[in-house]
């Protein structure tokens, strides 16, 4: 654990929070765009009453992603782990292990993460799984103020999310690009299509065309397991991963991109074999007929290969767009 770098991270986060506070003040207004967006999502666009029945009956996902995944089916040739200086490859191959130079959350950060995650999960439970995939940061805050089932995000929770979002994650051992610039960036609903029976969305254009062609060529036993993810969605997945990684935030970042660094926000998507459950998020997916056929097609590229330089485990299910 490196506490000095932690403190540095917190200081830079605090500076960024100034701009966030300004943004936050604008959230109170009901803009026509906000109203239109909520009508599209089937969500309330004026102040709902807490006793109103929730209007967001939502289909359940066939799979939830980002949950704790067992380390199984790993057939890779492993680099030996040395206590002294584990190699880069040893780390991404043994992604679920802990290493001496990993970064852990402090006790107060753990408490703040738990508190914030609880509220984010309440947003998800209130607006439904599908809507949650595309809910923006601003909208989540507004829902917090509108529903007692969520409750208002506190200044400390907002600041914690800002720190996570703008953190220099190379300190964790994650080297992937920053994909989303601003905490408040959001997904335009007119740019995405909901994929039936999955609860997930894909961007129209290349991602949707690629997915449709893939299903045409492989068959309908291959299915979308995670598509477009908003900033809020990635917070939820990442924080869950940090919890299941015993608050070792480096370990979490080896199997889930930290907020702002997921290519799901710009077009990448995950696929799996129908009925294969959470095994779809293990190396076992690479042993399926669906994977074999997908790779044989020649036009599918896997973003996180066994030798990727992003600091991420092998993800045979993650399609690069």
Which residue in the shown chain puts its C-beta closest to Zn ion?
318
Least distance in angstroms from the C-beta of 279 to Zn ion: 15
Rounded to a whole number of angstroms, the minimum distance from the CB of residue 160 to Zn ion is 24
Q: Per CB under 5 A, which region of 41-49, 53-61, 141-149, 310-318 contacts Zn ion?
A: 310-318
Number of residues that bind Zn ion (CB under 5 A): 2
User: Rounded to 5 degrees, what are φ and ψ at 245?
Assistant: -100, 20
Range 52-91, binding Zn ion (CB under 5 A) = none
Smaller CB distance to Zn ion: residue 139 or 270?
A: 270
- Of 218 and 224, nearer to Zn ion (C-beta) is 224
If one asks whether residue 270 binds Zn ion (CB under 5 A), the answer comes out as yes
Whole-number minimum distance, CB 299 to Zn ion, in Å?
Answer: 18
CB closer to Zn ion out of 172 and 302: 302
Q: Which is nearer to Zn ion, 165 or 314 (CB)?
A: 314
DSSP 194: E
The token pair that represents 171 in the structure block: 């300190």
DSSP string, 12-43: HHHHHHHHHHHHHHGGGS--HHHHHHHHHHT-
CA 247 – CA 92 distance, rounded (Å):
18
Residue 226: helix, strand or coil by DSSP?
strand
For residue 65, the tally of other CB atoms under 10 A from its CB is 22
Of 122 and 283, which has the nearer Cβ to Zn ion? 283
Instruction: List the interface residues with Zn ion, window 97-126 (CB under 5 A).
Output: none
d(CA 160, CA 146): 21
Phi, psi of 174 (to 5 degrees): -105, 125
Separation of alpha carbons 65 and 60, rounded Å: 13
Nearer to Zn ion, 142 or 264 (CB): 264
* DSSP H/E element including 163: helix 155-166
The span of 18-26, 27-35, 230-238, 313-321 binding Zn ion (CB under 5 A) equals 313-321
Contact 103, 172 (CB under 8 A): yes
Q: Considering only 33-41, 183-191, 272-280, 311-319, which stretch makes contact with Zn ion by CB under 5 A?
A: 311-319
Q: Which stretch binds Zn ion (CB under 5 A): 18-26, 30-38, 102-110, 262-270?
A: 262-270
Helices (H), 178-229: 206-218
Binding site residues, Zn ion, CB under 5 A = 270, 318
């Amino acid at each position: 654990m490196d506490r000095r770098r932690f403190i540095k991270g917190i200081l830079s986060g605090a500076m960024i929070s100034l701009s966030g506070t300004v943004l936050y003040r604008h959230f109170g207004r009901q803009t026509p765009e906000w109203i239109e967006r909520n009508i599209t999502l089937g969500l309330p666009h004026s102040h709902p009453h807490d006793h109103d029945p929730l209007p967001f009956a939502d289909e359940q996902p066939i799979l939830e992603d980002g949950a704790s995944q067992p380390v199984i089916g790993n057939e890779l040739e492993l680099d030996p782990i040395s206590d002294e200086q584990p190699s880069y490859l040893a780390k991404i191959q043994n992604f679920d292990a802990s290493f001496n130079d990993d970064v852990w959350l402090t006790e107060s950060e753990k408490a703040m993460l738990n508190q914030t995650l609880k509220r984010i999960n309440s947003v998800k439970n209130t607006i439904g799984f599908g809507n949650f995939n595309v809910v923006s940061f601003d909208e989540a805050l507004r829902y917090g103020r509108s529903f007692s089932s969520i409750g208002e995000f506190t200044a400390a929770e907002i600041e914690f999310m800002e720190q996570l979002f703008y953190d220099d994650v190379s300190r964790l051992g994650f080297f992937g690009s920053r994909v989303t610039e601003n905490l408040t960036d959001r997904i335009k609903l007119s740019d995405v299509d909901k994929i039936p029976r999955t609860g997930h969305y894909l961007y129209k254009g290349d991602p949707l065309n690629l997915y449709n062609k893939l299903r045409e060529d492989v068959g309908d036993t291959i299915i979308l397991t995670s598509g477009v993810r908003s900033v809020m969605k990635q917070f939820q997945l990442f924080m869950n991963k940090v919890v299941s990684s015993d608050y070792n935030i480096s370990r979490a970042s080896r199997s889930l991109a930290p907020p702002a660094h997921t290519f799901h926000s710009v077009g990448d998507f995950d696929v799996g074999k129908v009925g294969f459950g959470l095994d779809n998020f293990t190396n076992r997916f690479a042993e399926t007929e669906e994977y074999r056929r997908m790779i044989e097609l020649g036009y599918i590229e896997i973003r996180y290969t066994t030798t990727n330089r992003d600091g991420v485990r092998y993800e045979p299910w993650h399609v690069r767009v």
